[in-house]
Chains A and B, each alone.
Chain A
Amino acid sequence: VQLVESGGGLVQPGGSLRLSCAASGFTFSSYAMSWVRQAPGKGLEWVSAISGGGDSTSYADSVKGRFTISRDKSKNTLYLQMNSLRAEDTAVYYCAKASARIVATATFDYWGQGTLVTVSS
């Protein structure tokens, strides 16, 4: 199993960014996926999850209405579209593979290496 994030970088407040997570080594559509972030020197914060079939999503209140999670089965890729970015969104963003198909799980058996998003003027 391999998860490789990309798309991070420096963006101004109010700007947008799209993160990608390329997955390999497992049947992508059989498992839910999540984004988890970690601000510098802080703890883990769950951001969003999407079911294996892509028909169910869930978001943390802190990003609801600004971020959109999606997945492309044909490309085995998970996405996070981030709009209206704020300074407090600055963090390393990890994609994580769930051990089940549903979003309501806290068991992530594989994690990517993370991609840094910095929101600053």
Chain B
Amino acid sequence: QSVLTQPPSVSAAPGQKVTISCSGSSSNIGNNYVSWYQQLPGTAPKLLIYENNKRPSGIPDRFSGSKSGTSATLGITGLQTGDEADYYCGTWDRSLSALVFGGGTKLTVL
């Protein structure tokens, strides 16, 4: 059971928009920055969003992040088949003194 809760899967058609939620508590998301990672099949994770809503260079603006209270959301617009991957949220948990990840969400682009 992960400290951060994500839906196991989401799906949408090419060109559409999808959101992935990440729910936590005051000891983690509520008081720390959230990062999002994309993991394509058979590859290492890749940083998509950091500090809740910032994109590293090279990440298209189709990807966005937001945070409200103890929840965070990753948004992807203009879905492409190449976006099919597993997505993970992560943040530091002050109570655990540990980094915590969500269980991951598998995105299917139908």
| B68 interface contact, C-beta 8 A | no
B44/A106 in contact, CB under 8 A: no
- Which residue of chain B has the shortest Cβ distance to A110 in the bound complex? B47
Query: When chains A and B are docked, how far (Å) is the Cα of A61 from the Cα of B3?
Result: 13
A114/B98 in contact, CB under 8 A: no
Given A107-B47, A109-B56, are A46 and B34 also a contact pair (CB < 8 Å)? no
Given A46-B98, A107-B35, are A94 and B103 also a contact pair (CB < 8 Å)? no
- Report the minimal beta-carbon distance from A86 to chain B, rounded to whole angstroms: 19
- Chain A residue numbers with a CB within 8 Å of B44 are 94, 111-114
- Chain B residue numbers with a CB within 8 Å of A108 are 35, 37, 45, 47
| B50 interface contact, C-beta 8 A | yes
- Which residue of chain B has the shortest Cβ distance to A46 in the bound complex? B99
A43/B97 in contact, CB under 8 A: no
Describe B's contact surface by its main secondary structure: strand
Tell me the chain A residues, 24-55 only, with Cβ under 8 Å from chain B: 34, 36, 43-46, 49
- Which residue of chain A has the shortest Cβ distance to B86 in the bound complex? A43
B46/A44 in contact, CB under 8 A: no
B99/A49 in contact, CB under 8 A: yes
- Chain B residue numbers with a CB within 8 Å of A46 are 90, 98-101
A111/B45 in contact, CB under 8 A: yes
Given A43-B104, A104-B92, are A109 and B99 also a contact pair (CB < 8 Å)? no
- A interface, CB within 8 angstroms of B: 34, 36, 43-46, 49, 58-61, 94, 96, 99, 104-109, 111-114
A-B residue pairs, 3 tightest by C-beta = A46-B99, A106-B90, A43-B104
Can you report 17 residue pairs joining A to B where beta carbons are below 8 Å apart?
Answer: A44-B37, A44-B39, A44-B45, A44-B104, A58-B98, A58-B99, A60-B98, A99-B50, A104-B97, A105-B99, A106-B32, A106-B33, A106-B99, A107-B33, A107-B51, A109-B50, A113-B44
